Amino acid sequence: MGKRSLAVAAAGALCAGCAAFITPSLPRAAQRAGSRGLHMAVTKKDSYSITLLPGDGIGPEITTATVAAIQPFSKLFKMEFKEALIGGAAIDATGSPFPDATFEQIKASDSVLLSAIGGPKWDGNPREQRPETGLLAMRKGLGLFANLRPAKVVRQLLDASTLKPEIVDGVDIMVVRELTGDVYFGTPKGIETTESGERFGYNNMIYYEHEVERIARVAFDVARKRGKRVCSVDKANVLDVSQLWRDVVIRIQKDEYPDVELTHQYVDNAAMQLIRWPKQFDVMVTGNIFGDILSDEASMLVGSLGMLPSASVGNPSGPGVFEPCHGSAPDIAGQDKANPLAMILSAAMMLRYDLGRPEEADLLETAVDNVLDQGYATADIMRDGCKPVGCKEMGQRVAEALEKLL
Ligand SMILES: NC(=O)c1ccc[n+]([C@@H]2O[C@H](COP(=O)([O-])OP(=O)(O)OC[C@H]3O[C@@H](n4cnc5c(N)ncnc54)[C@H](O)[C@@H]3O)[C@@H](O)[C@H]2O)c1
Ligand SMILES: CC(C)[C@H](C(=O)O)[C@@H](O)C(=O)O
Ligand SMILES: [Mg+2]
């Protein structure tokens, strides 16, 4: 395949309406400006429109709990919540996992809170009618190339991790995951049959320099506000796409961030180092698929996937999407067992990055901390001596704790 057709293939969007947001041919200066879109300089307002995407499985339960938890902020500013369809719920209602109406509503919102999508009901659908395809289309369509996944161990949960307390105590890692490139979006891809009748499947792992440059800058910018150390994770010993990744990250650090320390690990080693001695990491920057896997692994340092929030950002002129790292947890859906804290902490990231309300973000995180101090725990983080609560009650407890701080 020639260079031009590869470029066209990589720009191929999952939905027609997304194409305008994909910018492989932007001049470098414009791409660079876009890479600064961490929404940190947003001016605060008195009123916000927030799209809620309750999605599938435990999604509606944790969404209700999250809205309840942040309701006390209505003393300070107005939040207009409007639900929209995505994922399996959208497929059932409209036939599409990311309906145009949802995309239009999101673009007109200040921000987006997403719970989770997917489930066995739709696993047999053709690819374009799978819930996950809707999620990817939204991220790509909104230009959200940077996914920040903080794995910060809270002292109350030291015993909730499957690792020894002395290994996880003090861990504070920010995984910066590239979110709109890699093997997730590369083409050509598909499942075909050879002339002899054997089927084969393939996906193209591809990164353009500008995609690596902008995620590297996000990682270095984040590191400058933390421990000034970035570990870039790749598989450059085997993959050409990873060699390009590494070369570009080295160049950006040398030219623009000489004050930030840069190290490299191969992804197999990084997966091991994360559970051997996680305190060695400050910021980890990596591609879409490695970041997906390593962030789920990092959640167990904290104690549960139900504790890991995320911010999907990168487009300074549009809303970000704030979403827990976990999925729709079909095994516990509809039983009031889910931990809503990952989504509540994602709402804190929304306040910080999208709504220009960093003080309120801190307050919400403190409220969560206080609830954990009081010993309330959902099943996934249950320890000796804790008070068991369901999803709904956990949301109410956070609301009460927040109320006391306002
Ligand atoms: N961002 C998303 O929407 C997202 C992310 C991951 C997976 N998924 C989808 O979710 C579906 C299920 O995937 P999976 O089972 O591999 O992963 P999952 O994250 O849904 O669940 C993995 C395990 O973690 C538990 N878990 C997850 N969130 C929890 C919470 N908040 N509280 C308590 N326990 C929690 C589940 O019960 C399960 O045992 C699939 O369709 C998958 O594609 C969606
Ligand atoms: C559901 C899936 C498309 C998604 C991803 O792989 O990005 C999920 O695993 C995540 O981590 O948000
Ligand atoms: Mg994942």
pLDDT tens digits for range 234-260:
999 999 999 999 999 999 999 999 999
Average the pLDDT over each of 21-25, 165-169, 312-316 and give the range with the smallest value.
21-25
Pocket of ligand 2 (CB under 6 A): 118, 132, 135-136, 292, 325, 327
Range of the domain at 217: 161-174+181-302
Please tell me the total count of domains within the chain. 2
Q: Which of 14, 98, 132, 138 to mutate to test the pocket of ligand 2 (most atoms within 8 A of CB)?
A: 132
Domain assignment of residue 204, yes or no: yes
Q: Which of 117, 121, 326 to mutate to test the pocket of ligand 1 (most atoms within 8 A of CB)?
A: 326
Residues 316 and 353 in one domain: yes
DSSP secondary structure, 231-296, as one string: EEEE-TTT-HHHHHHHHHHHHHHHHH-TTSEEEEEEHHHHHHHHHH-GGG-SEEEE-HHHHHHHHH
Q: Is 1 exposed, middle or buried (0-12, 13-18, 19+ CB in 10 A)?
A: exposed
Closest ligand by atom to 180 CA: 2
Identify the pLDDT of residue 26: 32
To the query of whether residue 184 is one of the catalytic residues in this protein, the response is: yes
Report d(CA 144, CA 114) in Å as an integer: 14
Ligand 3 center to residue 362 CA distance, Å? 26
Residues 332 and 249 in one domain: no
Tens of pLDDT, residue by residue over 276-334, are: 999 999 999 999 999 999 999 999 999 999 999 999 999 999 999 999 999 999 999 99
Residues 248 and 290 in one domain: yes
Nearest alpha carbon to residue 239 among 269, 211, 271, 204: 204
Helices (H) and strands (E) in the chain, counts: 14, 14
Tens of pLDDT, residue by residue over 345-402, are: 999 999 999 999 999 999 999 999 999 999 999 999 999 999 999 999 999 999 999 9
Query: Is residue 88 lining ligand 1, measured as CB closer than 6 Å?
Result: no
Identify the pLDDT of residue 45: 95
Provide ipTM, 2 decimals: 0.99
Percent helix, strand and coil across the chain, each to the nearest 5: 50, 15, 35
Where a domain ends, among 284, 302, 320? 302
Identify the pLDDT of residue 41: 62
Where a domain ends, among 302, 324, 346? 302
Mean pLDDT within 182-198: 98
Query: For the whole model, what pTM was predicted?
Result: 0.92
pLDDT at 25 over 80: no
Residues 338 and 279 in one domain: no
Identify the pLDDT of residue 17: 33
Identify the pLDDT of residue 81: 98
Average the pLDDT over each of 1-10, 159-168, 331-340 and give the range with the smallest value.
1-10
Closest ligand by atom to 118 CA: 1
Identify the pLDDT of residue 42: 77
Residues 48 and 147 in one domain: yes
Residues 166 and 257 in one domain: yes
Residues 223 and 323 in one domain: no
Closest ligand by atom to 55 CA: 1
Ligand 2 center to residue 303 CA distance, Å? 20
Phi, psi of 119 (to 5 degrees): 160, 165
Query: Is residue 303 lining ligand 1, measured as CB closer than 6 Å?
Result: no
Distances (CA, A) of 141 to 35, 46, 106, 307, 315: 16, 28, 11, 27, 10
Mean pLDDT within 111-138: 98
To the query of whether residue 384 is one of the catalytic residues in this protein, the response is: no
pLDDT at 33 over 50: no
Ligand 3 center to residue 291 CA distance, Å? 8
Report d(CA 364, CA 350) in Å as an integer: 11
Residues 245 and 227 in one domain: yes
Handedness of CA 33, 37, 40, 43 (dihedral sign): positive
Given a contact cutoff of 8 angstroms between Cβ atoms, the answer to whether 353 and 309 are in contact is: no
Nearest alpha carbon to residue 330 among 46, 59, 1: 59
Identify the pLDDT of residue 40: 55
Task: Name the residue at shortest CA distance from atom 6 of ligand 2.
Answer: 292
Residues 169 and 284 in one domain: yes
pLDDT at 6 over 50: no
pLDDT at 2 over 50: no
Mean pLDDT within 154-180: 96
For residue 309, the one-letter residue type is: P
Distances (CA, A) of 27 to 30, 145, 177, 210, 381: 5, 17, 23, 10, 48
Percent of the chain with pLDDT over 90: 89
Residues 146 and 165 in one domain: no
CATH code for the domain in which residue 274 is found: 3.40.718.10
Domain assignment of residue 36, yes or no: no
Mean pLDDT within 117-137: 98
To the query of whether residue 268 is one of the catalytic residues in this protein, the response is: yes
Task: Name the residue at shortest CA distance from atom 37 of ligand 1.
Answer: 329
Identify the pLDDT of residue 19: 33
Cα-only R_g, the chain: 21
To the query of whether residue 169 is one of the catalytic residues in this protein, the response is: no
Residues 126 and 230 in one domain: no
Tens of pLDDT, residue by residue over 57-103, are: 999 999 999 999 999 999 999 999 999 999 999 999 999 999 999 99
Active site residue: 110, 182, 292, 354, which one? 292
Ligand 1 center to residue 120 CA distance, Å? 12
Q: Which of 58, 292, 296 to mutate to test the pocket of ligand 2 (most atoms within 8 A of CB)?
A: 292
Nearest alpha carbon to residue 137 among 86, 210, 211: 86
Interior/surface letters 236-275, b for 16+ CB within 10 angstroms, e for the rest = beebebbebbbebbeebbeeebeebebebbbbeebbebbb
